[in-house]
A = this chain, B = another copy of it.
Amino acid sequence: MFKIGDFSKICRVPVSALRYYADIGLLEPAQIDSFTGYRYYSLNQLPRLNRIIALKDLGLTLEEIGRLLNEDVSPEELRGMFRLQQTKIQQQVEEEQARLARVAARLKQIELEGKMPQQEVVLKTLEAQHVLSVRQVIAKPQHVATLLEESFDVLMPAGVQITGAPFVIFHDEEFKPADLDVEAVFPVTPNVQSHLEMAGGRQLKAHELAGVPLAACVVHVGGFDKIHESYSGLANWIEANGYRFAGPSREVYLSPPEGDNPAITEIQWPVEKI
């Protein structure tokens, strides 16, 4: 029989951990002095403790270990448990490696530019949503504003409630300075089902816009004359972090310029890991 400190030295597990295992019933001392409360451990508890440590090293929680040790589990259940554990750890590893890539990219950027980036790129998932939208080829990028205004002119009289910031989707595969294939989109509640007629035979169509599992996003603060800076920052980030473009980009018009406040626009670009 060993006092907790000696047993701790033998098994190289901290005294506090041994006490904790005793508290949660994972490894009860062989004997407890009922007067002093001193815990006494026996060497034939070593195998159990070693199992605990080994299973802990496999990433199981103490609760799972307790179940494994106390109830007896069928080999099938065992296999299932460890398979699950395997995929869990696999995911963890991938996540950490992605994180590592991000840190490396950030480091490179700091070396190059000597400072942190102005605007941060963040990854998000874009949920599917119910929208009204109109798609059209416009001659110049500035005409986006016109298209939005014309749409508003139809939406307002119809009394449609817009439930989120309007945005446009750029459907062109590559960047085009003219004749852009754009879609103006207005989030609405799912009960809006009708189409609205616009001038020139165009239609604002109600439909479910599919979600995007992963999009790299950046918030652009300021006028549209400088929005290409945000685009190039975003593109750099995407390349440096090992992603590739995976669909048409969006510009979300969170707020128009108003008085002293600059316009705030979010660029969202669907991506996927290389």
Chain A contacts to B: CB under 8 angstroms: 9-10, 12, 43-44, 46-47, 50-51, 53-55, 57-59, 68, 75, 78-79, 82-83, 85-86, 89-90, 92-93, 96-97, 99-100, 102-104, 106-107, 110-111, 114-116, 118-125, 164-165, 217-219, 221, 254-255, 261-262, 264, 266
Contact = CB atoms under 8 A, between A and B. Distances in A.
Nearest to A96: B93
A55, A99, A125, most chain B CB atoms within 10 A:
A99
B47 A219 contact: yes
A122 B10 contact: no
A9 B164 contact: yes
A104 B86 contact: yes
B100 A90 contact: yes
Contacts of A264: 43-44, 46
Nearest to A104: B86
Contact of A121 (B54, B89, B124): B54
A92 B89 CA distance: 11
Contacts of A104: 86
A83 B47 CA distance: 41
A119 to B, nearest CB: 6
A47 B103 contact: no
A78 B68 CA distance: 46
A57 B99 contact: yes
A74 to B, nearest CB: 10
B116 A78 contact: yes
A89 B100 contact: yes
A254 B75 contact: no
Contacts of A165: 10
A27 to B, nearest CB: 13
A120 B47 contact: yes
A54 B216 CA distance: 11
Nearest to A46: B219
Contacts of A10: 165, 254
Contacts of A217: 50
A93 B47 CA distance: 29
A43 B255 contact: yes
A129 to B, nearest CB: 11
B103 A85 contact: yes
Contacts of A47: 118-120, 219, 221
